[in-house]
Structures are given as C-alpha cells and as structure tokens.
C-alpha cells in the first residue's frame, strides 16, 4: 500500500477528524438545503427540488476537498485564535469558488438545469456560519469551564496536573479547633491561602500580621465577610494587624495581647534576583525577623511554630535560599529549648502567587509577547497555593518538633513547557503568535532546583505527600550562635561582601553563582 495513502487512512480514522468530517457533511448538506429555502421563501420550485441532491453533492465535493487541502482537520480547535478563523474564512471562500465552477460544469453538461447565482452567495455565508460556529464551540465551552475555575485553584491544577490532597481532618481539628492562631505574612499569597484553609477548622482567634497596609485592609474586608458566608466561621475572632516582624516591641505587644498558641511564619522576602542585590536586607527579614519572632514565641510558650521554607534552601546558590537555610537551622537549634515545637515545611514555587511566573507570563501574553525565560532547560517544582497550604497545616498538625518537612511536589516542570501551555490556553500559538525569548540566568538562579541535599535523607510519614528530612549542620550550637551574631552585625552595617562570606561558613553547600 502506498505510504501517503496509508497516512491518509490513518488520519481519517482518528476520532477528531472523524467527528469534524461527519459534522461537516451534515452542516454542508443543511447549508445547501437552507440556501434554497431562503432563496425561494420556503417554497423550492419542482425543477430544482428534484436536483437538490446534486447541489448537495457538489457542495460536499467542493468544500470537503478544500477543507482537507487547507488543513482544517489538522488544527487544534481547543484554542481557536484569529489564525484559525482566517483559515476558515479562506477555506469557505475557496470552497464557494470551487462549488460555483462545479455547478457551471454540471449546467454545461446538462446534469442540472440553470440555477439562481444567489444560491452560491447565500450558501457561502451559511457555510461560514455553520463551519466556523462548530469549530468555535469547543473553545467557547472551554472558556466557560475555565471562567468558573478561575475562582479557585483548579486552574491553574490544570497547568500542573496535580492530584487532590487528602487531609487528616481529625488531626488538624485537634491542632486548630478553638486555638489562637497567628499568621505572619498574612497578606501574601501563601498567607492569605493559609487563612482560608484554617477557617474551616474553627480556631478561636485568627491574628493576621503583615507590614503591607493595603494587604491588611483587603484581608480585613475578607474577614468581615466570612461570618456572613460560612456558618463554620461565626465564632472566630479575627484581628488584622499592620506590623513588621522586625519591630520587636510591637510583636511583643501583639503576643502579650492575644496569646497565640500556634504560629505560621510566612513572612519572608522571596524574590531571588532582588535579594541578590541586597543580601543585608534578606538577612534582616528572613533570618533576624525569624529569630526575633522565635524568641518571642519561646518567651510566650507557644505550642507550635511552623516556618514556611523553600526548595531554594537546598544547596543554595542564592541569597534568598541561603537565608532560608539558616532560618531552618535556627529553628532546629531553638527546638532544643523544649518549650515550643519548632518545625519547617519546605516546598517549591507556588503557582499563581504574586511575582511567580504565571502572572508574569499572562501579562506578557496580554501585551503581545515576547515571553521571557532565563534558560531553555530551566525546571521548577510547582504547587498550587491551596495544595501547599493544606500540606503545611497537615505537617504542622503532625510535627512533634525539630522536623524539616519536605512536600511531594511531583515532577519538575520545564518553564518553557509551562509558557507554551499558557499561550495555548490563551488561544494563541507558541513561537508564532507569541515569541519566547531566552535572556540568560540571573544571579543566584539555578537551572534545576532540588528538594534535598546529598547529606539529607527522607523518611516517609503516614501522609502520602509529606516526608521528613534530616537537617544536617556541621556547626555545633556555640559556633552557630557566634556566626549568627556576626551575621546580624554585618547586615546592620550593610556589609554585603562580608555577609556572603559568613553565609559560606554557616552553610557549607552555599555557592555563589
């Protein structure tokens, strides 16, 4: 059998082609029949009525051959764009021309009698409406579904294909029910989601702390609306507070006033390129801020302290990553005080959070491109915000102090693949409608992130997506404290180079890029 003919048959039997071919046959037949009804006000003369099947067969032969030639059966109709619509218009015009030629040939050879030329024009517009409408339906349906999903975190889940988290709700209820819970960085993406995930477990109080005044304003409005919408939240006492974790006296007053029993510490500087430019500020917020907060927690005998960490703390090459690594070591050291159970939860990039690639890519697509990516092989672990926060709460409920929990983030995803998927979901074509430009790695960036160092091992927990890492540090407690004090002094003096040298002493795997 000829190779081209075999390929032709293979294409014919595919589900998508078969569906559109059969639908086109039906719609083209309907369009020709409707053309005669419209032309003759629903009363088709008998001299045309008996030849109607010839007109329909001529239309099918003309249009289907042109549609195949123009590639209408090879295009993806999930993402209809201007390109695809132009293809349809072009194909229907060519089909109408081909149909006109066939009908005149039929007339010359007396296969059919003469016919009104207006039939060709009426039929063309009906074919355009029917064929274009059919191929737009999938996109319209797709858009309707995704507009509903924009209100929750399913989408992106659409982008990274993650399974739904199964929570041990009984354990979490024991952890949070009627407890006083404080969340730092509460106005950030992770902080806000933590608030939403904690509410159903009915804590007695939620103390929400952030230095972002506008963020706290929005959070306060959300909290005011909650009792009207959720019966489970009627007895929760909300307190939204503008405060910087570096303001020791303010934080002490907050703890003295509200006496929190559980603390989720989500306040941090997270943007790698920005922190590379100002390592002293990264130390102040990510390390000193954590230290100040942790000492207040110890003084007030808080039950549990959960640090939100990052996969960038593993074999760190960035200032942001190394400061979070030192924060992990710090809470491990403080856990030995045995007054509060300290633990950290380490996960990757939160898809859709402020400053993450998805909002950036969406804005670049809106502007017509290009999408900028630093490296063609760059991979990252991604989680949707809801999943990350659910697992943080689960780990906090399960932890007994001193653990570094690592969340199962699935397989790493190539950033360029993520960009292509977003472009397609916008109804456009990667590399054609929207260009992708590679700009080169920025300071502190890795091509591929890791979740564990070579020295760390993991132990499975009873929860499928949560693992326990063994935190190894070559420093004894006295060395760690000496270097920590030195780091604090240098950061306050603004000595960037000296700060990075201390990083190398505190975290042996730290390497500057």
**Which of 512, 475, 498, 464 has the alpha carbon at shortest distance from 163?**
464
Residue 452 confidence (pLDDT) = 46
Please answer whether residues 371 and 365 qualify as being in contact, where contact means their C-beta atoms are separated by less than 8 angstroms.
yes
Residue 474 confidence (pLDDT) = 61
* pLDDT tens digits, one per residue of 26-62: 999 999 999 988 888 888 887 777 888 888 899 999 9
Question: Encoding tokens for residue 28?
Answer: 């083209």
Mean pLDDT across the stretch 432-443?
84
Domains and their CATH numbers in the chain? 3-149 (no CATH), 182-349+382-409+458-506 (3.40.50.720)
Q: Which of 179, 270, 312, 341 is catalytic?
A: 312
* pLDDT tens digits, one per residue of 93-121: 999 999 989 888 888 877 777 777 888 89
Instruction: From residue 452, give the alpha-carbon distance in Å to each of 311, 323, 328, 405, 414.
Output: 8, 16, 13, 11, 19
β-partners of residue 9 are none
The CA-based angle 105-106-110, given to 5 degrees, is: 115
The CA-based angle 71-74-79, given to 5 degrees, is: 110
Percent of the chain with pLDDT over 70: 82
Is 16 a known active-site residue? no
Higher per-residue confidence, 312 vs 251: 251
Higher per-residue confidence, 290 vs 163: 290
Strands (E), 311-450: 341-347, 349-351, 371-373, 379-380, 382-384, 404-407, 413-414, 436-438
Highest mean pLDDT pick, 74-88, 173-187, 353-367, 376-390: 173-187
Cα distance between residue 470 and residue 463, in whole Å: 17
User: Considering the chain, what is the average pLDDT of its residues?
Assistant: 82
Task: Give the pairing type, strands 371-373 and 458-460.
Answer: unpaired
* pLDDT tens digits, one per residue of 212-221: 999 999 999 9
* pLDDT tens digits, one per residue of 272-289: 889 999 999 999 999 999
Task: Give the pairing type, strands 262-265 and 237-242.
Answer: unpaired
Cα distance between residue 337 and residue 360, in whole Å: 43
Q: Would you place residue 136 in the very low, low, confident or very high pLDDT band (cuts 50, 70, 90)?
A: confident
Q: Where are the alpha helices (DSSP H) in 399-495?
A: 415-425, 477-493
């Amino acid at each position: 059998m000829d190779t081209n003919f075999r390929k032709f048959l293979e294409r014919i039997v595919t589900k998508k082609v078969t569906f559109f071919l059969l639908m086109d046959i039906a719609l083209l037949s309907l369009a020709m029949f409707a053309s005669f009804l419209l032309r003759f006000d629903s009363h088709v003369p008998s001299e045309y009525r008996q030849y109607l099947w010839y007109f329909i067969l001529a239309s099918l032969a003309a249009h289907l051959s042109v549609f195949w030639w123009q590639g209408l059966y090879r295009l993806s109709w999930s993402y209809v764009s201007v390109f695809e619509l132009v293809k349809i218009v072009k194909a229907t015009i060519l089909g109408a021309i081909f149909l006109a030629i066939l009908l005149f040939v039929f007339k010359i050879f007396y296969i059919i009698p003469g016919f009104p030329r207006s039939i060709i024009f009426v039929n063309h517009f009906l074919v355009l409406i029917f064929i274009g409408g059919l191929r737009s339906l999938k996109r319209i349906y797709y858009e309707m579904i995704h507009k509903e999903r924009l209100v929750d975190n399913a989408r992106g889940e659409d982008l990274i294909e993650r399974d739904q988290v199964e929570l041990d709700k009984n354990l979490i209820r024991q952890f949070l029910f009627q407890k006083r819970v404080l969340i730092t960085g509460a106005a950030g993406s992770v902080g806000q989601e933590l608030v939403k995930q904690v509410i159903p477990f009915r804590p007695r109080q939620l103390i929400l702390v952030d230095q972002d005044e506008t963020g706290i304003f929005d959070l306060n409005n959300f909290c005011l609306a909650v009792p009207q919408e959720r019966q489970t939240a009627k007895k929760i006492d909300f307190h939204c507070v503008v405060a910087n974790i570096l303001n020791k006296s303010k934080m002490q007053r907050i703890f003295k006033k509200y006496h929190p029993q559980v603390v989720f510490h989500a306040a941090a500087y997270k943007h790698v390129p920005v922190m590379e430019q100002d390592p002293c500020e990264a130390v102040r917020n990510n390390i000193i801020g954590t230290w100040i907060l942790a000492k207040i927690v110890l003084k007030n005998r808080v039950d549990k302290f959960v640090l939100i960490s990052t996969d960038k703390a593993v074999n760190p090459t960035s200032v942001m990553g190394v400061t979070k690594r030192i924060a992990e070591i710090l809470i491990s050291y403080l856990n030995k005080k045995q007054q509060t159970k300290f633990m950290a939860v380490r996960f990757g990039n939160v898809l859709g959070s402020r400053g993450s690639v998805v909002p950036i890519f969406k804005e670049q697509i809106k502007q017509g491109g290009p999408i900028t990516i630093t490296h063609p092989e760059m991979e990252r672990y991604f989680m949707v915000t809801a999943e990350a926060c659910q697992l943080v709460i689960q780990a906090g409920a399960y932890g007994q102090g001193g653990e570094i929990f690592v969340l199962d983030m699935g397989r790493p995803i190539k950033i360029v693949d993520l960009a292509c998927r977003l472009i397609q979901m916008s109804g456009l074509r990667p590399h054609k409608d929207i260009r992708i430009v590679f700009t080169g790695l920025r300071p502190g960036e890795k091509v591929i992130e890791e979740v564990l160092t070579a020295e760390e091992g993991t132990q499975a927990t009873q929860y499928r997506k949560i693992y326990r890492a063994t935190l190894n540090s070559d420093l004894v407690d006295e060395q760690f404290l000496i270097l920590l004090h030195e780091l604090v002094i240098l950061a306050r003096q603004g000595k960037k180079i000296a700060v990075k040298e201390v990083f190398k002493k505190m975290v042996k795997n730290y390497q500057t890029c």
